[in-house]
Amino acid sequence: MNPVVHKPLLATVLGQRQDRPPMWIMRQAGRYLPEYRETRKQAGTFLDLCYNPELAAEVTLQPLRRFDLDAAILFSDILVIPDALGQSVRFETGEGPILEPLDVKGIDRLEPARASAHLAPVLETIRRLRATLPADKTLIGFCGAPWTVATYMLNGRGSPDQWVARRFALEQPAAFDRLMDMLVETSIDYLAAQLEAGADVVQIFESWALNLDDASFVRQVIDPNRRIVEGLRQRIPNAPIIGFPRGGAGNMARYAQMTGVNALGVDYATPLDFVRSHLPADLPVQGNLDPLRLVVGGEAMEKQVEAIIAAFADRPHIFNLGHGIVPETPIAHVERLVELVKHG
């Protein structure tokens, strides 16, 4: 019988405070790494890279070869789900994702029955990672939350205020609910398959939780996330789940309580004293360095790293950025960040 290997990051998600915070970096496999850029050239399109198990596993592992991180996160994208449902999705350099915007008839044309087969290459990537990842490293799977994914599906691209999706949810409530139901069920299937393939923990990226009033936040963020958590745990009891409601602000405590996630990702705009005073003391938190401080480095970064670690020293804490690392980030600054978190 193989001995149980301690995985500090997984243990933290499950509520066990560590002597020093384990860490990973959102978008840690990406364009700031020259080896990623070289692999990306081999793949064809961005989605080709997501669906190529050999190359996707390679780019997932690249940051762990450079930095002493505690977790690998599956290299993929939140928009593989609309792609799997049959919506046209493409990524344009300099523009980001572009989708064929959905209307009511477009929602009815989506094909959830095709999603499982379409996403099979992603699960093969996870199996390859599980076979090669060091035993003490946590493997993180993920999906986009239904509201966040829906904003792209309805608008056809990212938006600073999610106006199209917000209006659609109010004007076409029945069609919107059909879309959300489809995304909830597809996400449950997808996350369960990721855990069965070897992921240790999954994260739900609610990247557009801001710009919603109270009632809409409950309907469009809390309820779908709660349903995913409950549905996933019916399949896989005690499944470890991180929720990341970026921009959740004053709704964060309610989100954590009502969804039942194990750990809460905290964006960089959330004050440290707000977390300390408004979130349960035993709730694991993840975050929350501003990615721009990592770009600038030096004192601007180091003082805030110290402040974050000190603020969360009495609770389970995973050190991370409060949003994804950006391509302009110097590798030397990431090396310094890891040194600070690991060794002070």
Active-site hit among 36, 51, 152, 268? 152
3-state secondary structure of 155: helix
The answer to whether residues 114 and 85 touch, using CB atoms and an 8 Å cutoff, is yes
pLDDT for position 95: 76
pLDDT for position 299: 97
- The per-residue pLDDT for range 92-148, each reduced to its tens digit, is 877 789 999 999 999 999 999 999 999 999 999 999 999 999 999 999 999 999 999
Identify the CA nearest to 158 among candidates 208, 105, 205, 204. 208
Under-70 pLDDT residues of the chain: 1-4
Active-site hit among 32, 36, 40, 246? 40
Tell me, yes or no, if 77 is annotated catalytic.
yes
DSSP codes, 17-63: --SS--B--TT-SSTTSHHHHHHHHHHSSHHHHHT-HHHHHHHHHHH
The answer to whether residues 288 and 261 touch, using CB atoms and an 8 Å cutoff, is no
Active-site hit among 17, 20, 66, 77? 77
Active-site hit among 17, 20, 31, 235? 31
Residue 109's CB: how many other CB atoms inside 10 A?
Answer: 11
Quick one: which H or E segment has residue 138? strand 138-144
Tell me, yes or no, if 190 is annotated catalytic.
no
Are β-strands 89-92 and 96-99 bridged in parallel, bridged antiparallel, or unpaired?
A: antiparallel
**CA–CA separation, 28 vs 100, rounded Å?**
29
pTM, entire model: 0.96
For the chain, what are the domain ranges?
A: 8-343
Tell me, yes or no, if 268 is annotated catalytic.
no
pLDDT for position 1: 42
pLDDT for position 96: 85
| Bond into 155 cis (ω within 30) | no
Class of domain 8-343: alpha beta
Tell me, yes or no, if 223 is annotated catalytic.
no
Tell me, yes or no, if 27 is annotated catalytic.
yes
Active-site hit among 27, 166, 226, 227? 27
C-alpha distances out from residue 10 to 192, 203, 223, Å? 17, 12, 25
The answer to whether residues 191 and 141 touch, using CB atoms and an 8 Å cutoff, is yes
pLDDT for position 3: 55
Q: Is the dihedral of CA 183, 186, 190, 196 positive or negative?
A: positive
3-state secondary structure of 238: coil
Distance of CA 222 to the CA centre of its chain: 16
